[in-house]
Amino acid sequence: MVPQVQKKTVLIVGSILVVLIAAILLTVAWSGGGNSPFGGASATQVLQESLAAANESGSVNFVDRTDVSASQQQQIQGAISAASAAEIASGGNRTFEVELIAGAVYVNGPAPVLQSALQITSAQASPVAGKWIEVSPSDAPFQNLTQSLTLDASLGTFTPSGKLKFGNVEKVGGKSVVAITGSLSAPYAGSTGTTSLLVSTSRPYLPVAGSVDARQGKSTLTEVAAYKNWGARVVLTPPGSYISFSSVLAGCIRRLPAGRHRWYCLIEVSFGAALRAGTSECAGMSE
């Protein structure tokens, strides 16, 4: 029986990251030898086997935390599978949620974040702040919103490149892991530093955590992630009420609760956005 995880229960406790950071900082480069838990396999071979096993499992839960120059912090909690995925990003007292369910994307967040994520105007974003918005595959923001909701995107950040080396065997969350360390991954091109993927010492060597230590000029960035529940089914249901993205663009808010549909139009007035019905943009649309 395939284990199932609900959205509310898949998110890993953030304190695990503290343990991971400590483990990663303690990891010392190891050049190989008789103590290798991987026999005669090279770091490149183990990395390839780990990534193949991760993709074959098809799903994972994770927490990802990024610290920039010790002054800015963002945390992303999520569950990813091919059919369904969800991420909650928080930072700077703002939270942005993205869910992929049955081929559609649902987003919810404050106006400034919606404006950036959906590439809409402030006037369009303000009235729908804090409300769920449905983005279909034919909508312009769909591809940008979904490109991070994949295993490749999450693991790609922590996949080292160049000459790879093993770290010492460490314990993370009760599991024996080894860091595979190399040059920075593609998302950090142009910076200097290292990328590590911590993998289980037991086959199929699934990823347990990842870390990035990047520097560019006087700026520093540390990103750490924890992975859990590989292969568990991600169970998500659409929001009970949402607004279509096309309606947001047209100035019409289409709410879809159980039962009937309601249509409204947004009209810009000197004191902000007001809700009215029956304008030209909503011609033929009635309650």
Q: What is the pLDDT of residue 252?
A: 57
| Tens-place pLDDT, residues 70-84 | 677 888 888 999 889
Percent of the chain whose pLDDT exceeds 90: 39
CATH architecture for segment(s) 4-96+148-235: Clam (2.50)
Task: Say what the pTM is.
Answer: 0.75
Q: Where in the chain is the domain with CATH 2.50.20.20?
A: 4-96+148-235
Q: Per-residue confidence at 51, pLDDT binned at 50, 70, 90?
A: very high
69 has a pLDDT exceeding 60 = yes
| Tens-place pLDDT, residues 119-146 | 999 999 999 999 999 999 999 999 999 9
Distance CA 210, CA 25 (A): 12
Give the mean model confidence (pLDDT) for residues 243-249.
Answer: 90
| Tens-place pLDDT, residues 173-230 | 778 899 999 998 877 878 889 999 999 999 999 999 999 988 888 888 888 999 989 9
Between residues 58 and 264, the one the model is more confident about: 58
| Tens-place pLDDT, residues 2-46 | 334 444 433 433 445 545 554 554 454 444 444 578 888 899 999
Q: Which is nearest to 225 in space by CA: 212, 234, 241, 236?
A: 212
